[in-house]
A and B are shown apart, each in its own frame.
Chain A
Amino acid sequence: MEKHPLNPAPTISVPRVVERAAPVPRWLRAIKEVRHRLESGLPVLLITPSLIAVLIFVYGFIGWTVYISMTRWNDVLPDYTFVGLRNYVGLFQTPRFQADIRNTIVFTTLFLLGAIVVGFFAALLLDQRVKGETFWRSVFLFPMAISFIVTGIAWQWLFNPQTGINLLLKYVGYPGPLPRWFTDPTILFGVKVGAIQVGIPVALIPVVIAATWQLSGFTMAMYLAGLRGIPEELREAARVDGASEWQIYRYVILPLLRPVTLSALIVLGHISLKIFDLTVAMTGSGPGFATDMPAYFMFETTFRGNHFAQGAAIATLMLLMVAALIIPYLRYSLRRETEL
């Protein structure tokens, strides 16, 4: 902990040997003393503006939001009358928010599955010593460089029920009625719970595909880095022991990639819980809130409907979800780093 390679302990003192060699005038020593103090305080001084900014803009504002979520401020003018958890109770009774919870769970699950499977598959292919690896890799990764808005516009055009994919399906003679994609209000495996159908909203599937398209390059890059980090000797040793290629992947490589999967799941998972731009550009709330997300509800109710307290309550719940995922991960990552 004290002296790990990433954080060498500060030793800023000038060797005292010089001072002992000849008597140093007192005024010079005083200057050195002042300089020494300044030097040891300087790191703190340099980082203080940023710390204050983070303290106010992150932690202060979060505190302010949490406070707003417990007030009666549901109109244009601020009203800081304390009402406890009333906004939260109201929120959980709102069918739209219930749909949001369902959608977040379904979207996150399907999207993570898609990104992990596609990304891992792409990384496996690239790990076979293929020709033109840089080209393929660049193609798989470029969607990460463009905005969710552009992605949403392109995929909305492709999944428009009257054209795009459906037109291709018509060309190849797709039997039966064409899929209605994000205009379909159907909930697969729907079970009525309270005011909403719990199940898989069909309209979410195009959004999952677009998100997978955009972010699977990230899992590909993570897995490829992971695969490259596995020493060739390990595979060689397994081969000598008579393991087939498939067995090598199953029993040697996959277990070693588990930390990579964990990192990818957490990074993509927290993005998924916050998803906003993509649904704005692609579907909005969707039919019967089939593609509505907490972030979109928060935006509409706060900045279009002036229900600030309700918006703050949604935001606070989103923060709790993300924190539950990220805080253990931060502790895990940083602890591992100091153990190196």
Chain B
Amino acid sequence: MKIGRIWIYIALLVLTLFYLLPVYILLLTGLKSFAEADLTRMWNWPTQPSLAAFAKAWDKLSPNFMNSVYLVIPATLISSFIGSINGYVLARWRFRGSEILFPAILFGMFIPYQSILIPLVRFLQSIGLYGSIPGLILVHVVYGIPITSLIFRNYYASIPGELVEAAKIDGASLLGIYRWVMLPLSQPGFAVVAIWQFTQIWNDFLFAVTVTNKPAQQPITVALQNLAGSQIIEWNVQMAGALLAAMPTLLVYIFLGRFFLRGLLAGALKG
């Protein structure tokens, strides 16, 4: 029995090695100098670990990093708020057609965005938002409606009906119930949705690469990908840049992981 337990831990360790390997190699290469980050010595420790590659990567990527910040904060806030309103309505109120509306909205989160990209680009060009961060904010808010509404709907459905009934008897209106009953209880729901949207928007590449065209407007994922396309590939700078780009969502994951997991499972339609 004891020996069996040991094998469980060995298996866990092997899996852990597999999951940590890419991060290890990013960090290792990022700490090297340009000369040392070479193909034949990839696994060697840097003789003089330094943050020079990180500094250089930050130098190149910081404008795009900031673009991502200016994109992700308003987009997350707005789409969380919209999701909260929709979720409230979908969870608490039935009206004619509401049972058809919900799946029709949900379908929007599964579609391949390729199937809307061409009209989307034309549309953004026509309203003058193409190639801009506000344009990307609009895109993420709109295509975030299904998932944010879903998570909030499931969350509000879990709030006991008695609370709502009690508020109704006290004469609270629909908006009053939202403002005084639901909203104060919404913090965990907001945490799940905001973390989900933050991660999705920060990591998005498809919208970023099709909606922005000038390097100055591009979010971090596109700039990072372009870094690999330059003539001489500075592996150390590229790996350091990859780590920098991953840092915000990784930090959120490390500190708020349980909310992240709930968003993940909600995406599989499990309430």
Contacts and interface: CB of A to CB of B under 8 A. Distances in A.
Contacts of B206: 276-277, 295, 299
Contacts of A57: 108, 116, 120, 142-143
Contacts of A121: 11, 15
Interface string B243-271: 10110011011100100110011011111
B92 A8 contact: yes
Interface stretch (A137-145, A177-185, A248-256): A137-145
A276 B268 contact: no
Nearest to A15: B169
Contacts of B82: 50
Interface stretch (A23-31, A88-96, A323-331): A323-331
Contacts of A334: 102-103, 269
Nearest to B110: A326
Contacts of B235: 157
Contact of B146 (A11, A54, A315): A54
A337 B252 CA distance: 31
B201 to A, nearest CB: 11
Contact of A149 (B102, B224, B252, B257): B224
Given A147-B205, A331-B103, A65 B115 contact: yes
A315 B117 contact: yes
B203 A148 contact: yes
A128 B107 CA distance: 37
Size category of the binding interface on chain B:
35 or more
Interface in A152-169: 153-155, 157-158, 160, 162-164, 167-168
Interface string B17-28: 011111101100
B151 interface: no
A269 to B, nearest CB: 11
Contact of B268 (A158, A162, A222, A314): A222
A245 to B, nearest CB: 10
Nearest to B223: A149
Contacts of B269: 263, 329-330, 333-334
Interface string B116-131: 1111100100000000
A58 B107 contact: yes
Interface in B43-98: 43, 82, 85-86, 88-95, 98
Contact of B264 (A149, A218, A276, A329): A218
Interface centre among A58, A61, A337 (most CB of B within 10 A): A58
B228 interface: yes
Nearest to A340: B271
Interface in A101-152: 118, 121-122, 125-126, 128, 130, 136, 138-151
B15 A125 contact: yes
Nearest to B16: A139
Nearest to A145: B253
A53 B142 contact: yes
Contacts of A143: 19, 22
A274 B114 CA distance: 9
B95 A10 contact: yes
Contacts of B20: 139
Contacts of B123: 61
Interface in A289-338: 294-295, 298-299, 302-303, 308, 311-312, 314-316, 318-319, 322-323, 326-327, 329-331, 333-334, 337
Contacts of A225: 265, 270
B15 A122 contact: yes
A58 B249 contact: no
Given A39-B174, A64-B118, 12 more contacts: A50-B145, A61-B116, A65-B116, A141-B261, A147-B205, A149-B245, A157-B239, A163-B42, A167-B40, A222-B265, A267-B267, A314-B114
Interface of B: 5, 8-9, 11-12, 15-16, 18-23, 25-26, 29, 39-40, 42-43, 82, 85-86, 88-95, 98, 101-108, 110-120, 123, 142-143, 145-146, 149, 154, 157, 161, 164, 168, 171, 173-175, 199, 202-206, 209-210, 221, 224-225, 228, 235, 238-239, 242-243, 245-246, 249-250, 252-254, 257, 260-261, 264-265, 267-271
> Lowest 9 CB-CB distances: which A-B pairs, in order?
A147-B203, A154-B22, A145-B253, A61-B116, A43-B93, A315-B114, A61-B119, A163-B39, A319-B115
